[in-house]
Amino acid sequence: MVQFYSPNRRSVNRGIISITADNLDAQGQGIARHQGKTIFIPGLLPGEQAQIQLTEEKRQFAKGKVVKRLSDSSHRVAPRCPHFNVCGGCQQQHVMAELQANTKASVLEHLIQRETGVRISAQPIIHSPEYGYRRRARLGLQYHTKQRTLLMGFRQSQTNDVVNIQHCPVLRPELEQLLPPLSQCLSRLNAAKRLGHVELVLADNGPLIVLRHLDPLKPEDKETLRTFSEQYHVAIYLQGEEKALHPLRAEQPAPWYQVGGLKLVFSPQDFIQVNDTVNQQMVAQALAWLDLQPTDRVLDLFCGMGNFTLPIATKVQAVVGVEGVAALVANGQYNAQLNALSNVDFFHENLESDIHQQPWAAQGFNKVLLDPARAGAAGVMAHIVKLAPKKVVYVSCNPTTLARDSKVLLAAGYRLVSVRMLDMFPHTGHLESMALFSREPRAIE
């Protein structure tokens, strides 16, 4: 549920009130009603009674904190992470996974119906493993001069303080097991006071680490890192002040992952989907919804390095991928060659500018896929309508912009055939989804 806050806070009644939560929002906050006002209470589940204190009050809603919980829901579970309630990475480990996913699906359905007037189910959900799903994570590094210690972890909720973590059960086990030795290794560096962050990535050919350092590393620090790399079989990349990546060892193989039976090589800086399990299902669902045929010409907008584009190419006459990041376009072209796909073209274009005169835009396409960032795809929706494709698949990381952009297709005569919630980030408030639009009379599930 989207909430809008104004900087002018109303006076808050500091008294204790008793409430019963009757719903949950996508962020994992309990929702209760008191004297006609909706109250959001972090940590409270539907059906639970509690004494709360209001922390913020507006004309339409208020926020509160639990003073004493008087009952427990059957959907309440013990968080697996020892850092839960301190670390800002997860907000919902106390909520049974099924309730988390169903709540997000309900929020998605409600938002689409409210904004478009279309009543549609976001089921069945594309599910994720509850834990051990993240193959990528960026950890902050913070040196405490007085204690002479280097903290490594995620930011504490609503602060810039780093929570020093030794365990992170949402990480893939291959990455989680690196946390204690990596923290010890970085603490021993002469440059420990001048480190920015460290990123962990699990490629299909092994884990890798990107270390952001603010000053040049001394030879002894590089040797310490080489020893760590060899001992734990990890590829290490250094990112200095110029922000370019440099492999610690020249013989390090390029990282890659597989999707749709293809091998995609990527740079550690490239965007790849964090949840591989959901990504595999998402790509398969998109291809099935598009009902790809050997004569199809497909346009893939915001294509990245070809996560959808290249699997599509194995089934159609031609596919064009358009992306605003030049490095991703170059990797897409490389991966097309690597997989011997000659029916793919990639273009580097700003999809927020006037696209109608671009060379790819003049081509004919009968099917379109788009996977925009959180800002959505307002700049290309009119052009998609102009192309008049039979089917459009929209992959979204922001339900608000999905609903907004859907209106353009609906107004042009498309039907919203199917919607699915993607459980890409269990235990968090992130809501991912995908939608199928069609101009054909028959629904494709």
**Same-domain check for residues 280 and 422:** yes
203 near 228, Cβ under 8 Å? no
Same domain for 319 and 419, yes or no, is: yes
pLDDT of residue 36: 86
Q: What is the pLDDT of residues 36-67, one digit of tens each?
A: 899 999 999 999 999 999 999 888 899 999 99
Q: Is there a domain that residue 65 lies in?
A: yes
* Domain harbouring 63, CATH code: 2.40.50.140
Per residue in 94-149, pLDDT (tens digit) is: 999 999 999 999 999 999 999 999 999 999 999 999 999 999 999 999 998 887 89
Give the per-residue pLDDT at 6: 46
Residue 64 within any structural domain of the chain: yes
Which among 202, 226, 256 is the end of a domain? 256
Matching residue, tokens 């890192």: 225
Instruction: Indicate whether 162 and 247 sit together in one domain.
Output: yes
Residues 369 and 310 grouped into a single domain: yes
Q: Is residue 176 within 8 Å of 169, Cβ to Cβ?
A: yes
Run of H or E residues at 382: helix 381-387
pLDDT at 244 over 90: no
3-state secondary structure of 208: strand
Residue 223 contacts residue 188 (beta carbons within 8 Å) = no
Whether 93 is covered by a domain: the verdict is: no
pLDDT at 266: 96
Based on the fold, state whether residues 233 and 298 are members of the same structural domain: no
Q: For this structure, is 303 an active site residue?
A: no
308 and 244 part of one domain: no
Q: Whole domain around residue 108: which residue ranges?
A: 102-129+275-438
20, with CB counted inside 10 A (0-12, 13-18, 19+), is: middle
| Mean pLDDT for the stretch of residues 340-369 | 89
Q: Which of 101, 397, 403, 424 is catalytic?
A: 397
Domain final residue, candidates 256, 284, 314: 256
Tens digits of residue pLDDT in 3-20: 444 444 454 556 799 999
pTM tops 0.85, yes or no: yes
Are 119 and 141 found together in one domain?
no
Per-residue pLDDT at 252? 87
Q: Are strands 256-259 and 262-265 parallel, antiparallel or unpaired?
A: antiparallel
Is residue 225 within 8 Å of 185, Cβ to Cβ? yes
N-terminal to C-terminal alpha carbon distance within the chain? 27
181 plus 302 within the same structural domain:
no
141 and 65 together in one domain:
no
Cα(196)–Cα(142) distance, integer angstroms: 8
| Structural domain contains residue 7 | no
Q: Tell me: the pLDDT tens digits for 281-321?
A: 999 999 999 999 999 999 999 999 999 999 999 999 999 99
- State the chain's mean pLDDT as an integer: 92
Question: Is 1 within the bounds of a domain?
Answer: no
Same domain (yes/no): 419, 376: yes
For residue 280, pLDDT beyond 60: yes
* CATH at 289: 3.40.50.150
In whole angstroms, what is the distance from residue 345 CA to residue 317 CA? Answer: 12
- Domain end position, chosen among 52, 71, 90: 71
Pair (286, 427) in one structural domain: yes
Predicted local confidence at residue 185, as pLDDT? 97
Please report, in range form, the residues annotated as the binding site.
81, 87, 90, 168, 273, 302, 307, 323, 350, 371
- Residue 444: which pLDDT band, with cuts at 50, 70 and 90? very low
Establish if 269 belongs to a structural domain: no
Binding-site entries for [4Fe-4S] cluster:
81, 87, 90, 168
Residue 87 lies in a domain: no
169 & 20 share domain: no
Cα→Cα distances 169→28, 90, 142, 175, Å: 19, 10, 22, 10
What average pLDDT does range 412-441 have in this prediction? 94
Q: Which residues are annotated as a binding site for S-adenosyl-L-methionine?
A: 273, 302, 307, 323, 350, 371
76 within a domain of the structure (yes/no): no
Report the domain count for the chain: 3
Task: For the sheet with 149-155, list strands across it.
Answer: 162-164, 149-155, 136-144, 195-203, 206-213, 235-239, 245-247
